Each structure stands twice: as C-alpha cells, then as structure tokens.
Structure 1
Amino acid sequence: MTVESDIEYLSRRIEEEREKAEHADNPAGYRIHTDFAREYERRLQALIADQPVPASMNGHVA
C-alpha cells in the first residue's frame, strides 16, 4: 500500500466514524465512534509527520 492510499484510507475512515457518531442511537455508540475517529486522526497525523517535506515547502529551492 502506498502512502497516498494510507492517507486516503485514514481520511475516509475518520469521516465515516464521525458520521456514525453523529447518527448514533445512544451515548455509548457516540463515544465509541468518536474514539475510533480520534484514533484514525492520530494515525493520520503520525503518517503525515513521517513524510518528507518537499523542497518547495521547507524553504529550499529544488
């Protein structure tokens, strides 16, 4: 799996879990889906942090 598809997958799962939380029938369901969304967000941020910054983004000219 490429880094792009990992980013796309995690982004999609975040949105899906937020949607499920919004439509949960009870507080426990809301909490579980919110927790899942937060975990996917944590993983996404970690993945993004591990990516190299393109030269045009870090003050250097390629």
Structure 2
Amino acid sequence: MALKSDIEYFSRRVEEEREKAERAGEPATYRIHTEFARHYERKLRSLIAGQPVPQLKNGSGLH
C-alpha cells in the first residue's frame, strides 16, 4: 500500500520536472526533465496501483 506522503512526493516531483522542462532553454535539457517527469509519473502510477516501482533504463532509480 502506498503511503500518502509517497504519493504527494512523486506528484510534486512530476510537476516540478514538467515545469523545469517548460523553462528549459536547450532541447537536451528539455528532454532530460521530460524523461524525469515521465519516470516519476510511472513510479506514481505504480504506487497507486500497488505494483513494483519501475527503474530507469540503466537500472537505477531516482530518489
């Protein structure tokens, strides 16, 4: 079961990364923040669904 604080944290991180992507001046920076936002969104969905949390392509998680 996901903790409310975890859900709040990942929700906040999704929004923060989306905002950073929107403000990015360089395409590479935009892509990085968009990738982070998508990763946090997948973690959030997994928490809500009670599924294992996915990892980044390189096997590491974001903290």
TM-score range, shorter chain: 0.7 to 0.9
- Deviation for aligned residue 1:16: 0.2
Tell me by how many angstroms 1:40 deviates: 0.1
Which runs of no fewer than 5 residues in structure 1 stay unpaired? 52-62
Alignment: residue pair count: 50
TM-score, normalised to structure 1, is 0.77
> Which runs of 4 or more aligned residues in structure 1 lie more than 4 Å from their structure 2 counterparts after TM superposition?
none
How far apart are the structure 1 equivalents of 2:50 and 2:14?
A: 19
Which one has the largest radius of gyration? Answer: 1
Q: RMSD value over aligned CA atoms? A: 1.5
Unaligned stretches of 5+ residues in structure 2: 52-63
**Matching residue of 2:26:** 26
The structure with the largest helix share of the pair is 1
